[in-house]
């Protein structure tokens, strides 16, 4: 797996078919803030949830829930390529290799770049009401800056962590790619963290035409780094939960207990691309 450099184009979704948008904070959240000084946040810990299912869940929670959420998914069951909302297959993916190896391509509901994910990717998603985090305006840069401070606590004393041009890095090597979507009353900030990666999977991604300055001319191998060299994956997850708990009143819940509309009542922006769509991109490349 790898996370390429342009993983931070930040744009709101444009799909007009979404039919459920909650615009007020629930009374339970208001009560929690009053009692503890912290907004309530529901924590869902997952392991091996397919990335398409995870993205569908995130999109529904953003659109149909008035609660704050943290989703942590420890790996996805099989490799997949995930593109941002406006990404073009022919410009980002080596299409012939993808077709040959039957690698699925997903277009997600958030902006950002293209990633290859698998069982060694750890996903952390934060879905919040616009006033859930004090002194953070619901715009891309303030949210990104706040997230950098949050993860600085996670990696404190562990590694040389920095937020650089919307990427999470150790030194000058990227290990976390971010994307966002911001609606009128809510926002989502989600990250794909490299625990480890398989070098062969990098061949599915083209070198990006737009790259952050700090990447220079480095290829994928020289640009990225896995977290496994710094801490155990279980320790990373526990540190993340602790850092979130310092800012929110966290309530763990199970996936099964989430009350969301059925799939038939909700139109997802996130979708699995068809073989025909991928083949058409292949024709453009050739």
Q: What's the rounded Cα separation, in Å, for the pair 35 and 104?
A: 46
* Residue labelled with tokens 């590694």: 159
C-alpha to C-alpha distance for 116 and 81, rounded to whole angstroms: 4
> Quick one: which of 274, 272, 257, 284 has its CA closest to 83?
272
Contacts of 66 (CB under 8 A, 6+ apart): 22, 24, 25, 26, 29, 129
Measured CA to CA, the distance from residue 271 to residue 106 in angstroms comes to: 6
Tokens of 203: 């061949």
Q: What is the full per-residue pLDDT of the chain (286 aa) written as tens digits? A: 444 333 333 333 333 333 333 333 445 555 555 566 899 999 999 999 999 999 999 999 999 999 999 999 999 999 999 999 999 999 999 999 999 999 999 999 999 999 999 999 999 999 999 999 999 999 999 999 999 999 999 999 999 999 999 999 999 999 999 999 999 999 999 999 999 999 899 889 998 888 889 999 888 889 999 999 999 999 999 999 999 999 999 999 999 999 877 766 789 999 999 999 999 998 888 7
Token pair, residue 268, equals 């997802």
Q: Which two tokens stand for residue 46?
A: 């997952």
Domains along the sequence of the chain with CATH = 2-15+34-262+270-285 (3.30.930.10)
pTM of the shown model: 0.86
């Amino acid at each position: 797996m790898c996370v390429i450099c342009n993983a931070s184009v930040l744009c709101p979704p444009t799909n007009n078919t979404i039919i459920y948008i909650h615009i007020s904070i629930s009374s339970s959240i208001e009560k929690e803030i009053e009692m503890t000084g912290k907004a309530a946040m529901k924590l869902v810990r997952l392991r091996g949830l397919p990335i398409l299912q995870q993205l569908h869940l995130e999109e529904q929670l953003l659109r149909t829930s008035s609660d704050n959420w943290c989703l942590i998914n420890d790996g996805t069951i099989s490799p997949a390529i995930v593109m941002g909302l406006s990404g073009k297959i022919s410009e980002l993916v080596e299409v012939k290799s993808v077709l040959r190896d039957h690698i699925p391509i997903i277009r997600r509901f958030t902006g950002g770049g293209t990633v290859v994910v698998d069982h060694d990717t750890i996903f952390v998603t934060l879905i919040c009401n616009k006033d859930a985090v004090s002194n953070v305006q619901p715009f891309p840069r303030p949210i990104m800056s706040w997230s950098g401070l949050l993860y600085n606590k996670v990696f404190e004393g562990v590694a040389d962590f920095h937020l650089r041009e919307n990427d999470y890095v150790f030194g000058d090597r990227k290990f976390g790619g971010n994307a966002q979507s911001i609606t009128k009353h809510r926002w989502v900030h989600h990250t794909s963290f490299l625990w480890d990666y398989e070098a062969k999977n990098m061949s599915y991604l083209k070198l990006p035409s737009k790259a952050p300055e700090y990447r220079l001319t480095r290829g994928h191998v020289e640009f990225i780094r896995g977290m496994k060299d710094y801490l155990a994956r279980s320790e990373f997850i526990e540190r993340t939960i602790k850092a979130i708990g310092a800012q929110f009143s966290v309530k763990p819940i199970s996936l099964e207990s989430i009350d969301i509309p059925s799939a038939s009542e909700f139109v997802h922006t996130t979708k699995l691309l068809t073989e025909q769509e991928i083949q058409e991109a292949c024709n453009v490349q050739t």
